[in-house]
Amino acid sequence: MDYAEKHYLSKDGLKLYYREYGSGERTIVCLPGLTRNSKDFHDLAVHLASRYRVICPDFRGRGQSQRDPNWKNYNVITYNTDVQWLLDAAKVDSAIFIGTSLGGLVTMTLAYLAPQKIQAVVLNDVGPEIDPAGIARILSYAGRRTATKCWQEAAEQARANYSVAFENVPASFWEAFVRRSYRENSEGFPEPDVDPKVGDALRSASRAGKFLKVFNAIGLFRKIRGVPVDVWESFRAVTMPCLVLRGASSDILTEGIVEKMKAVNPGLVTVTIPHRGHAPLLDEPESLAAIDSFLESL
């Protein structure tokens, strides 16, 4: 095994899981997307493990982390607290953060709340603004995928949801992809390895967000539990070195949003990953080369 399996307790007592690779002096923390888990970063972590200590957690409700009995805790603020408790448990004072999608939003929030904990940032196909088309697509399936009868059927289900993000890939790609994001249930059938209530939380947050944006615009509601309603405010706190990876056909992070990000942070390093949408898996040669170059520049 290329990694050690470890657990820690969250502030509210949930048993949360993380993988640890390597033992370098500097630490990289990899945070996954909304319905994803630590397995997404395996190839990247193995690639980096000879030079860095790499920590890959499962957010609560995903993978081997405990599911939350209160689905309203599936939010960026709670995930942020979980990450800070992870850093304490793993004895990490500060780290380089690589965040895919939701993981990038958590990273930007951490940059606002505790910038001293972040040495540098890699945002994988995410920014402080999200294209509505991408949100609509994710809302259509998050928490709504059902158990399948076999792994081949699970692969077809994954292909139906994610084929827009991966161009011209063979059937073997989907067989490997689904092994990272599904697990067998008590009856032995493959099902998404995520609490379905995560989808409920996302849809609730999407509805509430429309009202919060209006309140924020007129100055009535700036923060929730110390976190800005406007994610651009959190992004402005990313003053440490930052690399943004964007899938060439992403429906979450558009070229226009990247240009707005560069206007806020002219030092931003940006790289487009060909033949990928939302989100690159970070095992692509272009992704690995961009991350290596960025890390070497620090």
Residues 193, 196, 199, 201: is their CA dihedral positive or negative?
A: negative
CA distance 117 to 148: 41
**Helical segments of the chain, H only:** 42-48, 76-89, 102-113, 132-141, 151-162, 171-181, 197-217, 231-236, 255-264, 285-297
- Interval 14-35: pLDDT, tens: 999 999 999 999 999 999 999 9
- Interval 110-140: pLDDT, tens: 999 999 999 999 999 999 999 888 888 887 7
Q: What is the pTM of this model?
A: 0.94
Q: How confident is the model at residue 160 (pLDDT cuts 50, 70, 90)?
A: confident
CB atoms within 10 A of CB 229: 17
pLDDT of residue 227: 80
Where do the domains of the chain lie? 4-132+229-297
Q: How confident is the model at residue 212 (pLDDT cuts 50, 70, 90)?
A: very low
Residue 134 φ then ψ, to 5°? -70, -40
Superfamily of segment(s) 4-132+229-297: Alpha/Beta hydrolase fold, catalytic domain (3.40.50.1820)
CB 121 within 8 A of CB 243: yes
DSSP 68: P
